[in-house]
Structure 1
Amino acid sequence: MMQICDSYNQKNSLFNAMNRFIGAVNNMDQTVMVPSLLRDVPLDEEKEVKASPTFFQHGDMYGYYVLLKSIRNDIEWGVLQGDERRKEKLGVSALDIARVEQDGEEDLEKLFHFHLSGLHAVLSKLTRKANTLTNRYKQEIGFGGYWAQ
Structure 2
Amino acid sequence: MMMQLLEAPNQKNSLFNAMNRFIGAVNNMDQTVMVPSLLRDVPLEEERGMSSLKSDEDEGDMYSYYQLLKSIRRDIEWGVKCAAADERRKEGMKITRMNSSASISSSTSLSSEEDEEEEDEDLEKQFQFHLAGLQGVLSKLTQQANSLTNRYKEEIGIGGWGQ
TM-score by length of 1: 0.73
Distance 1:82 1:133, change over 3 A: farther
**Cα distance between partner residues in 2 of 1:10 and 1:56:** 36
Please name the residue that 2:112 is paired with: none
What is the 5 A alignment of 1:49-64? 49=51, 51=52, 53-54=54-55, 57-64=58-65
Count of matched residue pairs: 127
**Cα distance between partner residues in 2 of 1:22 and 1:138:** 19
Structure 1: which 5+ runs fail to align? 1-5, 88-93
| RMSD, matched Cα | 3.0
**Cα distance between partner residues in 2 of 1:21 and 1:55:** 24
**Equivalent of 1:45, from 44, 47, 62?**
47
Of the two, which has the highest radius of gyration? 2
**Cα distance between partner residues in 2 of 1:34 and 1:14:** 32
Structure 2: which 5+ runs fail to align? 1-6, 100-117
Please name the residue that 2:77 is paired with: 76
Report if aligned partners of 2:50, 2:144 keep a CA contact under 8 Å in 1: no
% of aligned pairs identical? 68
Kindly provide the CA deviation profile for residues 49-100 of structure 1, in whole angstroms up to 9, marking residues without a partner as x: 2x55539833110011000000000000001224359x8xxxxxx7xxx7xx
Please name the residue that 1:123 is paired with: 138
